Amino acid sequence: MRGGALAAALGHALALAAPQVTAQAGAALAWQSLEPGLETVELPGPPGDGAGTITVVRIDPTRFELRLLSASAPGQGDPRSVRAWASQAGASAAINAAMYQEDHRTSVSFMKSGDHVNQRRLSKDKAVLAFEPIVSGVPPVRIVDRECESLDDAAARYRTLVQSIRMVSCDGRNVWAPSERRFSAAAIGLDRAGRILFIHARTPWPVHDLVRALLGAPLGLAQAMYVEGGPEAQLFARGGGKEVERLGTFQSPAENARAWPVPNVVAAIRKR
């Protein structure tokens, strides 16, 4: 979501109709396997707050590696939809990496991968996604909570760092302040087994309520960070002849049916 950006969106809404709820909080989740190590489920949204579900794609980091795809990196070309980024990279799943600035290239907060630095500024935001380890003996993916630990340690151990807004803290608390503002939302989380969660809610809910619903579901959610909101928020996954694509919207779920071009994406690519 860019600051103050407004645009009209046209398309075919039928392809984006809300899916059926396949699980209830407190019950075993009905995960659907797309391919080994990649599965998806639909969760109920916040109780009593409009129709719609939360899509979660769960990724096994022993089978997949995360990669940052950025239009600002050499040879990457222009921003494109999350689906198009995934297709170009041969990825099985992808989601927004972070909110971006008006130049349609630069992340709002710190973002680097190897020698390529998209945004040098370390903002006040508390969450940093760290992946592509460059030393042995560390988790393949981490969310560094800057309120609980130093970012310097992760910076010395991981090739890629992406900063954004903390949703669930290192001790499992909902740290998003209650508000009446509503957004479609894309988020990245980790469960207590260290698996990666790509999360998307098309229905514009207050983010505090969305986090509460995620923590109330039997996901084993350990940490999470917000990566995009509004019509730019997207999720794509594919495998086993099936595809999952979710797009964000404006204040009404019926207002957007177009996959907006975005500059930075986190993709999950099967390990060889």
Tens-level pLDDT at each residue, the chain (272 residues): 554 332 333 222 223 333 333 334 346 899 999 999 999 999 999 988 778 999 999 999 999 999 999 999 999 999 999 999 999 999 999 999 999 999 999 999 999 999 999 999 999 999 999 999 999 999 999 999 999 999 999 999 999 999 999 999 999 999 999 999 999 999 999 999 999 999 999 999 999 999 999 999 999 999 999 999 999 999 999 999 999 999 999 876 667 889 999 999 999 999 98
Nearest CA among 162, 196, 262, 178 for reference residue 39: 196
Handedness of CA 105, 79, 245, 258 (dihedral sign): positive
Q: Which helix (H) or strand (E) holds 111?
A: strand 111-113
Beta bridge partners of 57: 40, 198
8 A C-beta contact, residue 218 and residue 27: yes
CA distance 5 to 85: 22
Written as one letter, the residue type at 191 is D
pTM of structure: 0.90
Q: Which helix (H) or strand (E) holds 15?
A: none
